[in-house]
Amino acid sequence: MPVPLAPYPTPPVPFTPPATGAQSQLVCSGCRNLLVYPVGATSVCCAVCNAVTAVPPPGTEMAQLVCGGCHTLLMYIRGATSVQCSCCHTINLAMEANQVAHVNCGNCRMLLMYQYGARSVKCAVCNFVTSIGASASTIEQKFNS
């Protein structure tokens, strides 16, 4: 007596990107390359290392910073206070835009970023230490003019 065969399951509907062609980006969880993907995707497969990276839920605001240990671009959910690098395991302080200020280096004039409340900032280019105070008000006047 023949055994009835179960019908094949219907194949899943393939993902179709929005008609607008909207795209977003994230950092590959494997090789740390920047991946571009269509909005609405739930995961992205890296063409370089084949790692599958989950896409954060819609509406999640992301931010970026450069790791202080290995200079790798890190992406994290906005609002986090610290971010651990998956490459070198350095814990990086994540600051919002309203927690930092800018001043020009007193020696080479490079624009420097520092945390509010700091009394000085050391330039990574020429190693000059710029005192915060009079120079910060000069910068604010430049930006407000």
Residue type, 88: C
> pTM of the prediction?
0.45
Mean pLDDT, contiguous 10-residue spans, the chain (145 residues)? 57 55 83 87 93 86 84 83 89 75 89 83 91 55 37
Residue type, 85: C
Could you give the CA distance from residue 105 to residue 96 in angstroms, rounded to a whole number?
22
pLDDT at res. 142: 38
